[in-house]
Structure 1
């Protein structure tokens, strides 16, 4: 038997070649998805109305002066804590003040209503985009607050930023006046109370004179409080007025399209790799070992120039010769006890190379001195005639043929006239019984299910060492399960990098249900490495490794 490769890849390692192979298989979708996503995003972005953004800024200062006289005549607000300005800008009272100030500007009333509605909705939802605050402060809460405002037009954005900062500064100044206003209200209440008491006391009485003196003191304090109220100020000072923006901040069709395209590419690549991992493919013999069946051969993927004269010719020399030789020896060892050894060649799906492998194996057996009969039982898609070039062969009678009758040279004709059966000599010691023209209809499967097929097969096998039957794919048609019971079993051709392991398992399960033995696998179209080969010694040099590009192997 052919030895398995000495080194089995670790399942935990990432096979970059397999990854790139997967991406190459999904390349059309991987290219189409980003293009569609980018194009759709660009079209949607172009349809969105533009949004402009204007900025203005205020600075938070410490109002303590070095002059004691100034400090005694000024009332300043305490420093604002972290996050206070952002909370104020997004408070209902400030929003109402902003809307009231906007109504006094020359902005379109419809735009004002839209801004007002958005501000109210943002208060309810807790997410803000019309007015935003960005703070750059030191540890003592001193620094710059940047106010950003968005509008439907450059003028609307500029005006919204301006009235926003005006409302903020007005709130800060009003915060500084709150203590002075409370003092004024208290002094005014004292003054009213003294007035009432003075009116209730006798003229020229000592008590009245005392109340009048107290009233004068309160009036003096009240006048000082009025001065302090006028001079009261907050900690925020305007730094930069807002300016009308020249370009919108959104939408940005090109940027959005690029981001959407990249996201679609990443998602599609991830989806392709995930799908491929869930639908694991056979990449080598190590993937088939857990199935408990031998790998009888491993055949390389041929370059297009290697197939110039056909697959059979390519198997006689070059990189395919060695693999076919191993396959022949393994098959002979496996079936050495049989008298007329019959073997079915099949696959899970079409285009995995079963017909080419059948022809190459037959040629190798014939060259070693064995007499081989190849039967093309794939009646729907016959390939052996094309592989061999039957028109160049000579006809040979099958055992039991009446030479006086017109020859029946195809499988379909022989079923109708079995006594006139002929085969075509296609190579040394190799005869071919072609399927004939592709058949369609319900009568075709019954041909292989007829009880006479077994007797025909036994008669045709006389005089041959091996009979190789090229049958349809096992997951596509039931014909293989009808033919295989009359043989030693099925050899399954598996295409590396394409056939899913789950499909191989399903094929084996179907064969077991039908009591059909699977003799082993042939791993076909294995991509060759540039520095090594898959067998113990290489037939070709490194220069023969070439690229993966090839013609399909039928």
Structure 2
């Protein structure tokens, strides 16, 4: 999918995208309205290294998880003046090593009040340091107790050594007593050194940096709304693309080109307005001197077909549709009128024997009837109209053949040599022959007539015609060796109005319009210029 196709898909499903964004924003607003803001403050504790503690003979459990322990939380709550908050503080307190080193511990406490977060953080940091100090003091007291016990043992060993010397003579001591005494002295010296180092350390930890402010840790309202809006936008675009993938209707000209492998010759704009005008006045839009979006579209179609037909004469063109709703007969009549007004001789033939409409649409010449010869109600059709000559219409150089009638099935009749010869006679009698045929998928009529023609125009309606229907219609034409000139799309978003309004028709070429921006509007008191003479050709 190209970027342009993505934009068209999203534009087509824009309400789906808008609803997704609105729902996402509403959900974010509901979430923010129920969420209490959370503030977090941080404090840093400096700890004595593990090697220094080991040198002092102290084994201290200083894991950061102690911060959320009951002892630290209780001490912090007491320091804050409310011992009942111990469980709350324990649940909101966290600690972790700052970086790769274990000598720095960062303590964080969350609260819905920034001042309370700062106070609780500092209280927890002080309680953590106090807990480490308490454990350190217990370790040092244990060392001192062991040192006292070892001192008493040394004194006893010394007394035993002295007694042995007195009994055995001067400087004569047993080997066992001498070894015990020496070992006790070594242990004593070691403990004495460790106690001295512990006294030098004095404290295993200290608060390096207290908390001074708290930062908002919850999502900011503007950020939450922005994230929700973007999420809703992407969700809506995804749903639009999914809908486009599941949509079986014709939506874009590019999609039609890829589906059938044929060009889109024109897109007809303003068809509904043009048909209402025709039903009100009885005049074809192309036959009157009024420029509309529809008449411009028909002229563009005529030009595209002329280019596709290599500008030859005696061209036979069949107009059909891929669905029942496409206004093929209406635009076939206007296409024929456009060709006739451009100076070509045109004959129109209604190849739709099932629901003929084309003859009733073309304006009859003054003094003649627009309708075909009447037939008996419920009576069989005969083929007598095949030999009749085309009748002139009120549009110069445009003639229309009477409605075909037959007792046979329409497909069988259209496949006969009689109709084939008729098409050849009409080809020789006019520059362009326009044949209106039933929809492609109704019967084989359009495929049969397409075999007689130089090309077929396949009409489809944007937003109504199924893509599968237009694909099957194109396949049937190719199977019948009929040349598909291109697709005519009816409907779609109109873009030509602004350009047409900015470049109006000025009249006679002998008085060219000045270039540049249009002149400002005249005052109501200024006399209006006399209208230019317009020559209207009458048939």
Smaller-chain TM-score bracket: 0.5 to 0.7
State the shift of 1:147 in Å.
3.1
Cα distance in 2 between the residues matched to 1:193 and 1:386: 132
Q: Structure 2 matches for 1:123-162, cutoff 5 A? A: 131=94, 133=96, 135=98, 146-151=106-111, 157-158=117-118, 160-162=120-122
Q: Say whether residues 1:345 and 2:320 are aligned partners.
A: yes
Larger radius of gyration: 2
Contact persistence 2:450–2:482 (CA under 8 A): yes
Q: Which runs of 5+ in 2 are unaligned?
A: 55-60, 167-172, 278-283, 428-432, 500-512, 516-539
Between the aligned partners of 1:101 and 1:387, the Cα distance in structure 2 is 98
1:487 match: secondary structure? helix
TM-score when normalising by structure 1: 0.56
Corresponding residue for 1:468?
435
Distance 1:387 1:101 in 2: 98
Secondary structure of the 1:266 match is helix
How many Å separate the matches in 2 of 1:387 and 1:163?
94
Distance 1:200 1:329, change over 3 A: closer
Residue 323 and residue 27 in structure 1: after superposition, are their counterparts in 2 closer, same or farther (change >3 A)?
Answer: same
Match of 1:24 in 2: 11
Q: Distance in 2 between matches of 1:55 and 1:324?
A: 77
Residue 450 of structure 2 is matched in structure 1 by: 488
Q: Is the 8 A contact 2:94 2:107 kept in 1?
A: yes
Question: For 1:364 and 1:113, how far apart are their aligned partners in 2?
Answer: 89
Using CA pairs under 8 Å that are at least 6 residues apart, name the structure with larger relative contact order, 1 or 2.
Answer: 1
Given that 2:317 and 2:435 are in contact with CA atoms closer than 8 Å, whether structure 1 keeps it comes out as yes
- Note the alpha carbon deviations across 1:483-538, whole angstroms, 9 max, x for none: 3254225532357899897764344346678x68563313547977999xxxxxxx
1:519 counterpart = 2:519 = no
Q: Does the residue aligned with 2:41 lie in a helix, a strand or coil? A: strand
Measured at CA, do residues 185 and 502 of structure 1 come closer, stay the same or move farther in structure 2, by a change above 3 Å? farther
The offset of 1:371, in angstroms, is: 1.6
Q: What is the number of residues matched between the two proteins?
A: 442
Where in structure 2 are the equivalents of 1:204-219 lying within 5 Å?
Answer: none
Change (3 A) 1:270 1:292: closer
Which ranges of structure 1 fall in alignment gaps of 5 or more residues? 1-10, 64-74, 79-84, 120-129, 402-406, 435-447, 532-540, 544-554
**Matching residue within 344, 369, 373 for 2:345:** 369
Give matches, 1:416-431, under 5 Å. 418=381, 427-428=395-396, 429-431=398-400
Are 1:55 and 2:41 matched, yes or no?
A: yes
Supply the distance in 2 between the matched residues of 1:523 and 1:426 (Cα, whole angstroms): 27
Q: Secondary structure at the match of 1:57?
A: strand
Q: Deviations over 1:121-180 (max 9, x none)?
A: xxxxxxxxx52558489xx999x8653322466687456524432354346657876985
2:409 corresponding residue in structure 1: 451
CA drift of 1:34 comes to: 0.9
Contact 1:174–1:234 (Cα < 8 Å) also in 2: no
User: 1:190 corresponds to which residue?
Assistant: 150
Q: How big is the shift at 1:468?
A: 2.7
Contact 1:488–1:517 (8 Å) recurs in 2: yes
The 1:15/1:426 distance shift into structure 2, 3 A limit, reads farther
- What per-residue deviation string (whole Å, max 9, x for no partner) do you get for residues 83-111 of structure 1? xx9x943x3685344444466466695x7
* 1:318-349 residue CA offsets vs partner (Å, 9 max, x unmatched): 57525413415746989969xxx672411368
3-state DSSP class of the match of 1:371? Answer: strand
Tell whether the 8 Å contact from 1:346 to 1:354 is kept in structure 2 after alignment: yes
Return the alpha-carbon distance in structure 1 between the equivalents of residues 140 and 196 of structure 2: 8
Spell out the pairing of 1:243-392 with structure 2 (5 A cutoff). Answer: 249-250=217-218, 252-269=220-237, 272=240, 283=253, 288=257, 295=263, 298-299=265-266, 302=269, 312-313=286-287, 314=291, 320-327=298-305, 330=308, 343-347=318-322, 354-355=328-329, 357-367=331-341, 368-374=344-350
For residues 449 and 41 of structure 1, the distance between their equivalents in structure 2, rounded to whole angstroms, comes to 72
The Cα of 1:59 is off from its aligned counterpart by: 5.8
Work out the CA distance in 2 between the residues paired with 1:321 and 1:249.
66
C-alpha distance in 2, partners of 1:423/1:486? 25
Classify 1:508/1:385 alpha carbon distance in 2 versus 1 (closer, same or farther; 3 Å): same
Contact 1:149 1:160 in 2 (8 A): yes
In the TM superposition, what is the alpha-carbon distance from 1:261 to its structure 2 partner?
1.0
CA pair 232-505 structure 1, distance change in 2 beyond 3 A: farther
> How large is the RMSD of aligned CA atoms in angstroms?
6.2
Counterparts in 2 of 1:487 and 1:251: CA distance versus 1, 3 Å = same
After superposition, give the CA deviation of every residue in 1:386-442 in whole Å (9 maximum; x if it has no partner): 98789x9963454xx4xxxxx46xxxx9776747999996845355999xxxxxxxx
Residue number in structure 1 paired with 2:210: 240
Q: For 1:350-406, what per-residue CA distance to the aligned partner results, in whole angstroms no more than 9, with x for missing partners?
A: 56x645542332223544222203467896xx997998789x9963454xx4xxxxx
Contact 1:54/1:150 (<8 A) preserved: yes
